[in-house]
Amino acid sequence: MKEYSEPVCVAQMNRFSVWRAKLCAVRILFIALAISIVALSHPRASTAGPFNSEYFELDNGLQVVVIPNHRAPIVVHMMWYRAGSADDPVGKSGIAHFLEHLMFKATDKLEAGEFSRIVARNGGQENAFTSWDYTGYFQRVARDRLEIVMELEAGRIRGLVLDEEIVRPERDVILEERSARTDNQPSSLLAEQISAAQFLRHPYGTPIIGWRHEIETLNHEDALAFYRRYYAPDNAILVVAGDISAAELKPLAEKYYGVIPAAGVPPRRRPEEPPQISPRRVSFTDARVAQPSLTRSYLAPGHGTEGGDSVALQVFTEILGSKSTSRLYQALVVERPLAAWAGSSYQALALDTSRFYVYADALPGVSITEVEAAIDETIAELLLNGPSEEEVASAKGRMQDAVVYTLDNPQSVASIFGNAMSVGLSVEDIENWPDRVAAVTRERVMAAARAVLRLELSVTGILLPAEEG
C-alpha cells in the first residue's frame, strides 16, 4: 500500500506519532541557511561531512546525490519531486497524493501494476509517499538490479497513461484510506481541525490526503494536469544510497534520465498566510476517546521563512520535550504527575512557515485544564530563565549523535537528503549540519524560543471523551 506522510515521517499528525517520529526521523533535524547548488558537469564530493555524499547535475536539470555505503551489496534508489499537497489546485485537494497512487498504474510501456511486479520479481521493495512539499518514490534492491529500477522509474517520469477506468477504483481506495486513517481516528480528526485553524489561507491547512468531498470529484484529467505540470527532471532530485559511487551511477543516470527533456517547471507560488494576532482553540469530543489530551501548535519558521533560527529552535525542542528527561516530561509525568505522556516536536523542514508542537495526555482523574496549566507554567519558566548550559550541550550532543546512528541505514540517509533538498537545502547544508548545531549558543536558543512560543501564534486543540463534552 502506498502511503502519504508529513515531513516528520507521519501523516495527519497526532500526539503519539509525532513523538515517535522524533526518535526515528533524523530528517527533521537538518535545517540551515540555504546555499545555492552550483551545477557541475562531473561528480563532486561535498564538503567534508558525515555522509561523504557526491553530487552532480544532468543537463536537463535533474539533481543527483550519491551516498556511498559499501557494507552490503544493496542500494536505495529515490526519486523526489518538488511538488506536494500544498501545490494542489484550489478545490482539488488530495490530487498530489492521488497521483502518487496512480504512478503505479500503466505507462506507455508497462501495463497497470507491472512496475511493482517487476520490482518484486527482482527481490526489491518499493513504495511512495506524499508530503505538503514533495512526493517521493523509492526502491530498495540488490546492487546488480539497480539498472532495472532506473529504467522503470525513467519510464514513468513522462510516460504515465491514465483513463477513468484506472482512476475510478483507485479513488475508492483513497477514500477508504481516509476513512481508516482520519475519519475513524479522533486524534487525526482533531489534528486536521488544528491545521485548518492554524492556516486560514496557506495550503498547509489542508490535509495531505485531501478533504473527502473534494477527493470524490477527482478524475484522470486532474491527475494528468498535475503530473504534466510538476513531474519532470528539472523539478526532481535523484538520491541513491548504498553500494555505488557517483562515477558508477553517472553513466546510468545519463542513459535513463538524461534523455528526458526538461519541462520548464514554473516556480511554486503559494498564498501568503495573514498574520495571526490572537490564540485560537479547537475542541473535539468523541466516545472513542479514553482520556483527555491536548495538542498545541505554534507558527514557527520553516526553511523558507526569513528571520528564523531553525537550528536553535531544534535545540530548544530537544530540551523542552524530546525524551523522558525533557522539561515537559519531568514536570507533567514524573514530578506531579498529571500526564501519561508529554512532549514537543518541531517541523523544521518546511518550505514555508511551519509549526512547533507541544502535547500531553492526561492521567485518569486529571482534568485537561490542570494539564494545560502545567504546560503553560513549564514553558513560561523555561522562556524566562532559559535552559542551563548543560542542557544545551546535552541536546546538541544528542542531535549530532543521531547523525551517526543513521549512517548504517541507506534508506534513512537517502530520506535525509531528499527531504532537505526538496525544500531548498543544499548538499553542503546537510553535510555541514553537525557544525551548525555545534555553533548554537544558549542565547540563540532562548531568542528562537521566545520568538515562537507566544500564545497569539498558537492553536490549542483539546480531545475529550464523550462524557466530558
* Residues with active-site annotation: 100
Which residue matches cell numbers 497569539?
456
Rounded Cα distance between 399 and 314, Å, is: 9
Return the axis-axis angle of helices 389-406 and 410-422, rounded to nearest 10°: 110
Q: How far is residue 465 from each of residues 107, 188, 208, 287, measured CA to CA in Å?
A: 48, 15, 26, 5
Rounded Cα distance between 274 and 202, Å, is: 9
Q: Which three cell numbers stand for residue 445?
A: 536558543
Contact 362, 371 (CB under 8 A): yes
Rounded Cα distance between 280 and 413, Å, is: 37
Q: How far is residue 237 from each of residues 54, 321, 414, 427, measured CA to CA in Å?
A: 13, 33, 11, 12
Rg for the chain (alpha carbons), in Å? Answer: 22
Q: How many other C-beta atoms lie within 10 A of the C-beta of residue 94?
A: 28
Rounded Cα distance between 414 and 397, Å, is: 22
Q: How far is residue 436 from each of residues 311, 355, 398, 441, measured CA to CA in Å?
A: 7, 21, 14, 10
Of 212, 261, 221, 210, nearest in space to 84 by CA: 210
What dihedral do alpha carbons 17, 23, 28, 29 form, nearest 10°?
A: 160
Residues contacting residue 125 through CB under 8 Å, at least 6 positions apart: 119, 139, 140, 141
Length in residues, the chain: 469
Q: 323-345 b/e with 16+ CB inside 10 Å = b? A: eeebbbbbbbbeeeebbebbbbb
Rounded Cα distance between 255 and 86, Å, is: 32
